[in-house]
Homo-oligomer: A and B are copies of this chain.
Amino acid sequence: MTVEKSLPDKYKNFSEWYNGIVARAKLVDIRYGVKGFIVYRPSIMYIINRIYEVYERELQATGHEPCLFPVVIPRSSFKKEAEHIKGFEQEVFWVTKAGEHALEEPVLLRPTSETAMYPMYALWIRSYKDLPLKLYQGGSVYRYETKATKALLRGREFLWIEAHDAHRTEHDALNQVHEDMKIAEKVLYEELGLPFLLLQREDFDKFAGAVITYAFEVLFPDKEVVQVATTHYLGTNFSKPFNITYLDEKGNAKHPHQTCYGPGISRIAASVICIHGDDYGLILPFEAAPIQVIIVPIPMKQAVKNVLAKCRELEKNLVKAGLRVKLDDSDATPGEKFYKWELLGVPVRLEIGPKELVEGTVTVFRRDTRERLKVKDGELVKHILSLGEKILKTLREKAEKFLKENTHTAETKKELLKIAKEKGGIIRMNYCGNKECADYIKAETGGFEVRGKRMDVKERPDGPCVWCGKKAERVVYVAKAY
């Protein structure tokens, strides 16, 4: 009994693969009647809820507390930080009416919540004892995107978490950025198997209002990068106009230094889908999997009862071991069940038929390698727990290999153009720091953008700017991006 491939090769035709998996696995429905707004269906919501859970767990473990601010922001508050308005004013939705009456002051749907939260921070923060203040909220934000939208990757409503922290000093705030990096490493890399580049954006590419912007980027099968999270050091750019002050030990009023951190949950879900998936469907690492183990009975007439009894016993034992397990005792055929649960990416399948009954074994199918193995009943729980680790490792290594193989260094302009044209992926190069060069590169390579220098590793340029030949200031990474 084997399942047939239902999707094309994602490396050869990514767009078709992606549209195929979105439709077949019923992840989202793009036919909702408002442009840029999609419907999240159960198969993606289960995964999204898992990702929220993991991220929130790590945020809470580092002292962040949950909160929830209104979806609407008063215009007066939005207008307080000049750079921030410039960056967002073209893409905010305005609520102007209620019933048949015009609102006295129009309010906007949050595109991000700095201007919602910081007026309250000004009320809550009084003394150094109130710092650090570390709050986060999960939920949707709204941006009137004019670029082409793509399910889960770019839309006018997207799901994220935003953590807003206020610290006493620049030093503490920059440490926060490092903590944010550690959290991303734990969640994205360790738990979800997604390797990423951590890049400091060029000044012309910063978050509106930030002093420094760092971005976490993953590489998709079509060799374009996707920004899955950002963290910003805001300095006192917001605490000054929003009048947030604290009294230090000596009674001097000071402005706290702020950071904000935004993991994009829809985009992380899309990354799990695209980076790990294959021609049969999704492949979920254990942490992202709403169902970690699916049990499929293979009943023959004479053994239906005993097969089901064994399945139920296994289910009980595995639940007890802390696993998320489902016994599929529906009327579908085993073949239909195999197809469905492979498509949905359940990492481990157990098959139990009369043979396994007699042998005292279980047939274990591992979704990532699609290998089948017989395991003795007594060893099953241990085997599955270690299999969870193995699957994660395999997925992560595969993704790392792809990232490494598709990162190239360009020594010259000619090389840059050649790699961009023939290989694609991420291009590493010496860079002068001028926006003009970045603009030319984008124009002449058909879309490759300067994404920034690495934050986690110090890299010194070993030659002049690859584009203009002038003195290089840093090594940057250049790629097409979603």
A119 touches B70 (CB 8 A): no
Residue of B nearest to A145 (CB): B98
Residue among A48, A67, A74, A119 with the highest chain B CB neighbour number at 10 A: A67
Produce 1/0 per residue, A450-475, CB < 8 A to B.
00000000000000000000000000
| Stretch of A38-46, A193-201, A280-288, A293-301 lying at the B interface | A38-46
A71 to chain B, nearest CB (A): 6
Task: Provide the residues of chain B in CB contact with A359, threshold 8 Å.
Answer: none
A32 touches B93 (CB 8 A): no
B69 touches A32 (CB 8 A): yes
Task: Provide the residues of chain B in CB contact with A22, threshold 8 Å.
Answer: none
Complex Cα distance A144/B76, Å?
Answer: 20
Complex Cα distance A100/B144, Å?
Answer: 11
Query: In this assembly, does A99 line the interface, its C-beta being within 8 Å of a C-beta of chain B?
Result: yes
Within A295-343, which residues are at the interface with B (CB < 8 Å)? Answer: none
Complex Cα distance A135/B40, Å?
Answer: 11
A68 touches B91 (CB 8 A): no
Task: Provide the residues of chain B in CB contact with A29, threshold 8 Å.
Answer: 120, 123-124
B74 touches A42 (CB 8 A): no
Query: In this assembly, does A72 line the interface, its C-beta being within 8 Å of a C-beta of chain B?
Result: yes
Within A183-231, which residues are at the interface with B (CB < 8 Å)? Answer: none
Complex Cα distance A175/B120, Å?
Answer: 47
Knowing A120-B29, A120-B32 are in contact, say whether A38-B70 is a contact too (CB < 8 A). Answer: yes
28 contacts across the A-B interface (CB closer than 8 A): A29-B120, A33-B74, A34-B70, A34-B72, A34-B74, A37-B70, A39-B69, A39-B120, A42-B67, A45-B65, A45-B66, A46-B65, A46-B66, A48-B68, A71-B71, A71-B109, A71-B142, A89-B99, A90-B99, A92-B99, A93-B98, A94-B97, A94-B98, A95-B96, A95-B109, A96-B96, A96-B97, A98-B144
Closest CB pairs A-B (n = 10): A42-B65, A98-B144, A37-B70, A40-B68, A94-B97, A45-B66, A90-B99, A33-B74, A96-B96, A93-B95
- With A45-B68, A48-B68 given, name 12 new contacts (CB 8 A): A34-B70, A34-B73, A37-B72, A41-B67, A42-B65, A42-B67, A45-B65, A45-B67, A71-B71, A71-B109, A71-B140, A93-B97
